[in-house]
Structure 1
Amino acid sequence: QVLDNLNKTALNGFTIDEAYERLELAVPGGEQRTARLNALRAARRISHEFRQLCLDETLIDFSLQIELFNRHVLTNEWSRTHLFRTHRHLIFDNSEEDTLTAHNLAQLWIPQADSALVIVDANAGYRVFLGADPEGAQELAQMCDARLELDESHVMSPELEQLIGLVRRAIGGEQPLHAAPPPTVEEDDSIPFDDEAIPFDDEAPPFDESVLADAVPLSTEQFSQTASSVEEEQGEGPIEWDNLTDTFIVPQTIFRFYPQMIDWTAAQVRRLVQEEGVAPDQIAILAPFISDALRFSLQTRLEEAGIASTTHRPSRALQDEPAARALLTLAALAHPDWGMR
C-alpha cells in the first residue's frame, strides 16, 4: 500500500506530504478514524524513509522514475526534443484510463508529432481510484484537428452483445447495453453512500457456506424469458441459447467483504469441477475489475483445491501473458540477430 501511494503521488504530480494530507482529509468520522489516521501517518513516515533510502543507495523505484522523468527529462529541452523527434507518430488508446502524467506527456507530444490518434471510450474511466484521469482525456480530444464519434462496435459479434445485455439483466435488473448511464452523485442526491463500508478486511467473519444454497443457476427457460425482454426493448431478432443451459451462476447475497466473495466463487468452481465433473477450461469467472490482490487471492484459493486457472484483463500488458512471453522467447532463440532482450 505504501508503494501504491508513492506511485499515485508521482503520477498525479503531488509531493509525498501533499498526497498524505489529501488522504487524511478523506478519512470518515467514526470509531475507526483515529486508527486510520495513525495508519496513514505511519505510512507517510515509511514513504519518506523509503524515498531517502533510494536516494542514498542510488536506487530507482517506479515513483522515483516518474518524478525524475517529469522534473528532469521533460524539462530538459535536448531530452524532450530527442524523444519527440525519435517517435513521429503517436497512438494513445484507452486514454480515459490513464493518468495525469501520461496526459501531460501527450499534450507536449501531439503538437510535435506528424500524426496522432487519441482514443477515448465513452462512459468509461472506471480506474479513477487507480489514478485514472478521464477529464484529462477530454482535454486531449480538444487538441485534435478532427473528432470522430463511433456509436457501435465493429468487432463485437451480435451474439456476444446480446449476451452482455442478458447478463446485465440477470445480475440485478440493469438496463440494456445501450441504455442511458445511471445518474451520478451530483445529479441525484438520493443515491446512498456508506462511508463506513470497507472493501477489504483480513479480519472479516468466516465465510458461511450456507449462502451457497441461495445461489442457483439460471435455467434455459429463465434465460429465454430474460432474452425475450431484451428483444422487446432493443428490437433484436430471436436469440438462440442452445449452449447456455444451466451455466450462469450468480450469488443471491451481496457480500460485504472481499474474502467472502472470493470464498464463494472458489467454492462454486470446486463444486463444478469435483462434484459435477466440469472441466476447468469450461468455466469462466466474470468480474468488472481484477486487482492484483484479488487475482492472487482467487488463484490461491483455486490452487488449494487443485484447480488450475489463468487470468486475463485488458489493462494487463501483452508481454505479461504466458503465451506471448513464450512466443517472444522462441523468437529470440530462433533469431539472435534481432537483438531481442
Structure 2
Amino acid sequence: MAFVFLSVLEYWPGMSKRYLIGHPGVGKTARLTERLVELIGGGVRPDRILILVPQESHAQRFKAALALAREAALASREGRRAQRARLGQPEIHTFFGLAQQHVSLFFPRIALRAGFADPYREPVWMNVEAAQYLLDRIVAPRIGEFEHLRMPRSRLLIQILDDLNRAATMGFPLEELADRLASAWHGVEPRQQAYRAVQDIALAFRRFCLQHALVDFSLGMELFRAHLLAADFYREYVAARYRHVLADNVEEAAPIIHDFLRLLLETSETAMLAEDTPGGFRVNLGAAPQSAHALRLVCEVTPIPDPRLQPGAPDSPARFGQALMRAINERAAQRALRSSAVEKLYDGEAPTHYWATMVQAVADRIGALVRSGVAAREIAVVAPVVEDVLCFELEERLKRYGVGAHAVRPSRPLHDQPLVRALVTFARLGYPEWAQPVSPSELARALALVISGLDVVRAQLIADAARRACGPGGIVALPSLDEPSLWDRVGQPFHERYAALRGWLTIWAGGHPAQGAPLDLFWYELAAGPMSQPGFVFGEDAEAREGCDKLIASARAFREAFEQADLQSWPTGESIHPPEMSVLGLPPRPEVAERVDAGQAYVIALMQNVLAAEYAPERTPDVPEGSILLAPVYTYLTGNYRSRYQFWLNVNALNWHERFYQPLTHPYVLSREWSPGMRWTDDDEQRASRDLLARLVGGLAFRCGDKIYLAASRLTMAGQEESGMLAQALRGL
C-alpha cells in the first residue's frame, strides 16, 4: 500500500479543528484513521498524538493504521520524517482509561487537597465488583429504609453506585443528590427519606474510600474533574503533551470528557472529532449527546453524506430506519415505511399468538438464509432483553440447521454464568477451611462443563458416588472413586480426567499453603494446569479461557481492594454479613467467621448475587464461525456490531422504550441539561422514551447491510399482551 504524504496544513487547509457528523457506516472512523496516517507521514511526532475511543475494541482500527503509517514513514527517504516516526507511540485510550492514567500520574500532587487520609499511600483502583461489595457493607445496617421499594439488594447497590457516578461525571456535589431527586419526584409514594438515605450512604462510601486510599469509578472521575481539569499545571501538561487530537464517538462520552475535549481544542494544534447520529446509546451510563453538541461551536462542522439515503439509491435498511425514526417522533404510522429491505415474520397486522412460535419462525428463517449461502456470523438477533430461556430456545431450534447462537450479555449476573459457577464449585473444594460443602447437583454441573464430552447424566452418576463416599456432611473434597462398575457406566476416559482433577485439588488443599493463597492464584493455576490438558474445556474452547481470564482479573482486583481496606479486621460487633431483609427476596446469609479472607468474601458475594452486573465490556467479543449473534439491543449498539441481516424480536414489547425500574436514580434528572427543582412529569417520560427509541431503531437500521426481519407474538413469554411505541409505529408497514 502506497502513501502520499501531505503536510498538516495541506491536508486540512484553513480550519485546524474538525467535527465530523454522520450516520454509522459512512466512513467517519476511516477518516480519523486516514488523518492519523497523514499526521505520521507529515512528520508529526507520534507521541504528541492523542486518540480517544469509547471502548477498547474501537482502538484496533487505529492500531492497524498506525502500523502501516510507521512502516511507510520509516521507509521514507526523508530522514527527519523517519526519525520522528521512531519517537514513541500515539496514546490510544478509552475515555475512562485516560482519566485513570492521569489521576494516577498526578495523584501525589492532588491527594492531600482531595481529602485522602494518607496522601502518600499508593491508591488502589476498584473494579465494580469490589465497589459493590464494599458498598453492600455500608448499606446493610440501613437496608430497612428501602423496604417499601421492593427490589433486590443487588439492584439497590447498582443504583447507589450510579448516583455516585452521575454526580462525578455531571459535576454536582454529592450533598445535592437527595434534593435533586426529591424535587423531580411527583409520585404517590413518598421517597424523600429513601433519597436522603441514598445520599448518606454515598457520602459514607466516599469517606471510606478516602480513608483507605481506594478509588472507584466515581471518585476517579471526581478527582479528574475537580482537581485536574481546573488546575493550571494540568493545562500546561496537556498543552505540551497533546498537540494533535483524534476522538471517535464523542456522543457516547460523559460531560466530564467533553470538558476535557474542550480543553484539548483550546490547546492543541489540530483536532478531529467524530459523532455518530443517531447515537448517545450509553445515556444510562452517563452519555450526554447534548453536551457533545456544544463542541461543535469551536470546530468546523463537516457533515458526511450517507450514500444509502441519496435520491435514486436502492431501498435499504438505512432508508427504512430514517423513516421509522420519523414515524416514532411524529407519533404516527406512515405508509412510507414500506420497504423491500424489511420483512415481517407474521401475516398482516396480527403478530404470532405464542412467543415460542415466534422463536421457531426466527430459527426457520435463519436456517433458510444459512442454507442459501449466508454466513451465520453475518446474522444478528436482537431483543430488548435476552434471557436464559430465549438463549436456550433459540439454540435448540437452530441445532437442526447446524447453526449455533453466540450470546453476548454483559449485564448478566456473574454467578449466573455456568463457567463461573463451575469455577466457584472447584474453589469451595480447594479451600476446605471455608466449610462450604458442594451439593451433588453443583458438582455434576461443574464436571459436565469442564470435562469434554461428559454429559450431565453421567456427571450426576459421578457426583452421587462422591456424595456417598463423603457421607452426610456433604462434599468438601473430591473422594477417590475406584468402583469399576461406576466407570463401566460412565466411561474409562472420564475416570482418568476425574482422577487428574481430584489429584490437583488434593495437592492444592493439602500440600499447597492454601491458607492465605489468593483465590485468583487458585483459578490461574487450575486453568493453566489440569483444565488446559487434552480432554478438558480450556484446551479446546478459547472463549472459555477468555471467560476464566476475566474472572481471575476480577478476583485479583477485588482482593487488592479488600486488602487495601483491611476488611479482615472489620470492627468487632459488626457482622461481616448482617442479617438479610426477607422483603428483598434473598435468603438469609450464611453464618461465617468474623474474620474472612478476600477469596471467601468474593465467593460469598458471587453466590448471593451481590455482584450482580458488569458494565459494558471494553472489548467487543468476536462471533465464532457457524454461529449467529444474539444480543440485547444496547449491547449490539454499544459494541458497534455490524450485520448483513438483523432479526428484531418482540417488536410489540414495552421494554423497547420503557426504562428499567430505577426508583433511586434518574439518567435525565441527574444530568447537566436538567434544571434542579423541576418536576419530572409523565410528558417528560414520554418524550424521553420516544427520543431514545427513535435513536435505538435508527442505530440498528444503519448498522444493517441487507435486510431486517421483524418478529412479534401477541403474548409475551410471561403470557401477557403488550403493544409498545415500536409496534404502534410499525402498524403502517
Q: Provide the secondary structure at the position in 1 that maps to 2:271.
A: strand
Between the aligned partners of 2:256 and 2:355, the Cα distance in structure 1 is: 45
Between the aligned partners of 2:221 and 2:411, the Cα distance in structure 1 is: 23
Q: Provide the secondary structure at the position in 2 that maps to 1:317.
A: coil
One of 252, 266, 283 as aligned partner of 2:405: 283
Q: Deviations over 1:223-265 (max 9, x none)?
A: 89xxxxxxxxxxxxxxx954389x97979xx98xx5xx51332
One of 387, 401, 404 as aligned partner of 1:262: 387
Say if 1:118 and 1:140, in contact at 8 Å, map to a contact too.
no
Q: Sort the Cα spacing of 1:295 and 1:54 in 2 relative to 1 into closer, same or farther, 3 A.
A: closer
Between the aligned partners of 2:297 and 2:234, the Cα distance in structure 1 is: 26
Between the aligned partners of 1:243 and 1:213, the Cα distance in structure 2 is: 23
Between the aligned partners of 1:242 and 1:189, the Cα distance in structure 2 is: 38
Q: Provide the secondary structure at the position in 2 that maps to 1:181.
A: helix
- In the alignment, is residue 215 of structure 1 matched against residue 346 of structure 2? no
Q: Provide the secondary structure at the position in 2 that maps to 1:123.
A: coil
Cα displacement (A) at 1:113: 0.4
Between the aligned partners of 1:223 and 1:25, the Cα distance in structure 2 is: 55
Q: Sort the Cα spacing of 1:16 and 1:183 in 2 relative to 1 into closer, same or farther, 3 A.
A: farther
Partner of 2:618: 317
Cα displacement (A) at 1:92: 1.4
Q: Sort the Cα spacing of 1:122 and 1:298 in 2 relative to 1 into closer, same or farther, 3 A.
A: farther
Q: Deviations over 1:142-185 (max 9, x none)?
A: 211x322113379xxxxxx95xx3xx9xxxxxx71443623676
Q: Deviations over 1:245-296 (max 9, x none)?
A: 9x97979xx98xx5xx5133222245247x64846xx42448xxx6x42475
One of 177, 181, 200 as aligned partner of 1:45: 200
Q: Provide the secondary structure at the position in 2 that maps to 1:29.
A: coil
Say if 2:164 and 2:174, in contact at 8 Å, map to a contact too.
yes
Q: Sort the Cα spacing of 1:38 and 1:269 in 2 relative to 1 into closer, same or farther, 3 A.
A: farther
Equivalent residues in 2 for 1:207-246, closer than 5 Å: 211-218=355-362, 219=364, 242-243=373-374
Q: TM-score, normalised by structure 1?
A: 0.58
Partner of 1:148: 302
User: Which entry has the higher C-alpha Rg, 1 or 2?
Assistant: 2
Q: Sort the Cα spacing of 1:215 and 1:189 in 2 relative to 1 into closer, same or farther, 3 A.
A: closer
- In the alignment, is residue 13 of structure 1 matched against residue 171 of structure 2? yes
Equivalent residues in 2 for 1:74-223, closer than 5 Å: 74-144=229-299, 146-152=300-306, 165=317, 176-179=320-323, 181-182=325-326, 188=331, 211-218=355-362, 219=364
Q: Provide the secondary structure at the position in 1 that maps to 2:323.
A: coil
- In the alignment, is residue 293 of structure 1 matched against residue 411 of structure 2? yes
Equivalent residues in 2 for 1:302-341, closer than 5 Å: 316-318=617-619
Say if 2:167 and 2:174, in contact at 8 Å, map to a contact too.
yes
Between the aligned partners of 2:419 and 2:211, the Cα distance in structure 1 is: 40
Q: Sort the Cα spacing of 1:176 and 1:294 in 2 relative to 1 into closer, same or farther, 3 A.
A: farther
> What letter corresponds to residue 3 of structure 1 in structure 2?
L
Q: Sort the Cα spacing of 1:221 and 1:61 in 2 relative to 1 into closer, same or farther, 3 A.
A: closer
Q: Deviations over 1:102-142 (max 9, x none)?
A: 11111111121011011011121122222111112111122
Between the aligned partners of 1:76 and 1:302, the Cα distance in structure 2 is: 44
Between the aligned partners of 2:233 and 2:381, the Cα distance in structure 1 is: 57
Say if 2:250 and 2:275, in contact at 8 Å, map to a contact too.
yes
> What letter corresponds to residue 317 of structure 1 in structure 2?
E
Say if 1:96 and 1:124, in contact at 8 Å, map to a contact too.
yes
Between the aligned partners of 2:332 and 2:365, the Cα distance in structure 1 is: 39
Q: Sort the Cα spacing of 1:129 and 1:85 in 2 relative to 1 into closer, same or farther, 3 A.
A: same
Structure number with greater CO (CA < 8 Å, separation at least 6) is 2
Q: Provide the secondary structure at the position in 2 that maps to 1:23.
A: helix
One of 176, 181, 184 as aligned partner of 1:23: 181
Between the aligned partners of 1:126 and 1:220, the Cα distance in structure 2 is: 29
Q: Sort the Cα spacing of 1:100 and 1:176 in 2 relative to 1 into closer, same or farther, 3 A.
A: same
Q: Sort the Cα spacing of 1:122 and 1:250 in 2 relative to 1 into closer, same or farther, 3 A.
A: closer
One of 203, 208, 213 as aligned partner of 1:58: 213
Cα displacement (A) at 1:321: 6.6
One of 222, 228, 233 as aligned partner of 1:67: 222
Say if 2:359 and 2:393, in contact at 8 Å, map to a contact too.
no
Q: Sort the Cα spacing of 1:37 and 1:151 in 2 relative to 1 into closer, same or farther, 3 A.
A: farther
Between the aligned partners of 1:72 and 1:249, the Cα distance in structure 2 is: 44
Between the aligned partners of 1:263 and 1:136, the Cα distance in structure 2 is: 37
Between the aligned partners of 1:221 and 1:272, the Cα distance in structure 2 is: 10
Q: Sort the Cα spacing of 1:321 and 1:221 in 2 relative to 1 into closer, same or farther, 3 A.
A: closer
Between the aligned partners of 1:39 and 1:189, the Cα distance in structure 2 is: 39
Q: Sort the Cα spacing of 1:151 and 1:294 in 2 relative to 1 into closer, same or farther, 3 A.
A: farther
Partner of 1:229: none
Residue ranges of structure 2 left out of the alignment (5+ in a row) = 1-157, 309-314, 334-353, 422-444, 450-540, 548-615, 623-733
Between the aligned partners of 2:207 and 2:237, the Cα distance in structure 1 is: 31
Q: Sort the Cα spacing of 1:183 and 1:39 in 2 relative to 1 into closer, same or farther, 3 A.
A: farther
Between the aligned partners of 1:24 and 1:189, the Cα distance in structure 2 is: 34
Say if 1:94 and 1:121, in contact at 8 Å, map to a contact too.
yes
Say if 2:414 and 2:420, in contact at 8 Å, map to a contact too.
no
Please identify which structure carries the higher strand content.
Answer: 2
Q: Sort the Cα spacing of 1:153 and 1:57 in 2 relative to 1 into closer, same or farther, 3 A.
A: farther
Q: Sort the Cα spacing of 1:141 and 1:248 in 2 relative to 1 into closer, same or farther, 3 A.
A: closer
Cα displacement (A) at 1:28: 5.6
Q: Provide the secondary structure at the position in 1 that maps to 2:276.
A: coil
Between the aligned partners of 2:163 and 2:204, the Cα distance in structure 1 is: 14
Q: Sort the Cα spacing of 1:68 and 1:214 in 2 relative to 1 into closer, same or farther, 3 A.
A: closer
Cα displacement (A) at 1:301: 9.7
Say if 1:217 and 1:250, in contact at 8 Å, map to a contact too.
no
Between the aligned partners of 1:58 and 1:220, the Cα distance in structure 2 is: 55
Residue ranges of structure 1 left out of the alignment (5+ in a row) = 155-160, 169-174, 191-209, 225-239, 323-341
Q: Provide the secondary structure at the position in 1 that maps to 2:272.
A: strand
Q: Provide the secondary structure at the position in 2 that maps to 1:51.
A: helix
Cα displacement (A) at 1:300: 4.8
Between the aligned partners of 1:6 and 1:265, the Cα distance in structure 2 is: 33
Q: Sort the Cα spacing of 1:181 and 1:269 in 2 relative to 1 into closer, same or farther, 3 A.
A: closer
> What letter corresponds to residue 293 of structure 1 in structure 2?
S
